[in-house]
Amino acid sequence: MSAGQLIDGKSMAQDVKRELVQRIDRLESETGVRPGLAVILVGNDPASETYVRGKVQDCRDVGIRSELIRLPESTTEEELLGEIDRLNEDPLFHGILVQLPLPRHISAERVIHRIRPEKDVDGFHPINVGKLVIGQESFVPCTPYGIMEMLRRTGISVAGKHAVVVGRSNIVGKPISLLLQQADATVTMCHSRTKDLPSHTQRAEILVVAVGKPHVIGPEHVRPNAVVIDVGINRTPEGKLTGDVDFEAVRPIASYITPVPGGVGPMTRAMLLVNTVRAAERAAGNVRG
């Protein structure tokens, strides 16, 4: 059996960014509006620092105006909410992103709720989540959005397929299950309390794994010729990044598979840019898809 074909998220993300450069230039020439993204970082978590630097660089690459707002660990919840209120009123910024996790004394829920839905480019506000549930136009969380875009760009048809999602988080598991259903897949959701996990995953023509545990999915879980989407990013004791899927063992079975790193991650970042540009287009009354 030949090895599964790699779904190269890094290359796809570069394609998305090239397309966005033209879209941004067109928006600015037609309306005078250049998309703007404000990124708020509270404290100095090393992983968050890395993510935020990458997001700011992505904005620079495509021509989105970005501002990184650094706040100390001691920032109170009310001070952070006040900063969000200021950005909600600032027409130069069409998207607001607060890097999670936040310090323990700040409620992430209150912060997410405070961002105006039309500037919620992470897609976490309850209004955007509710619109997603009922199939209305909304900002979709970036990782599920990236997964659907990867499937589309790879030419993988979802309609009529049996998809199995392992993981039920609000950020990935639940929204990707909704998007797959809306694309006419039949979806099974599995989670930590699912009994006999292989009996479910072996039926998947499309398998999406997002649980945050290294190599929780092995060859015994995978149907021959399945499409395997690995959302997990885990660090081994040796410091190596690895996914939720045992890549080397599963690749010979799959028809397509995403690597870690270089799979879902780059497309997640790219879709944040797409959401920001869409927010600017909406604000300018120049809406595109």
Active site residue ranges: 55, 99, 122
Contact residues for 193 (Cβ-Cβ < 8 A; gap 6+): none
Peptide bond into 237 cis (omega under 30): no
Distance between CA 111 and CA 114 in Å, rounded?
Answer: 5
Distance between CA 113 and CA 68 in Å, rounded?
Answer: 20
Cβ atoms within 10 Å of 169's Cβ, excluding its own: 16
Distance between CA 232 and CA 161 in Å, rounded?
Answer: 23
Q: Is 24 helix (H, G, I), strand (E, B) or coil?
A: helix
Distance between CA 182 and CA 227 in Å, rounded?
Answer: 18
Q: Rounded to the nearest 10 degrees, what angle do helices 264-283 and 46-62 cross at? A: 60
Q: Supply φ then ψ for residue 96, to 5 degrees.
A: -125, 125
Cβ atoms within 10 Å of 100's Cβ, excluding its own: 15
Helix (H) / strand (E) containing 230: strand 227-230
Alpha helices in 120-263 (DSSP H): 126-134, 142-154, 173-182, 197-201, 247-250
Contact residues for 11 (Cβ-Cβ < 8 A; gap 6+): none
Beta-sheet strands, E only, within 18-90: 36-42, 65-71
Angle at 144 between CA 242 and CA 52, to 5 degrees: 65
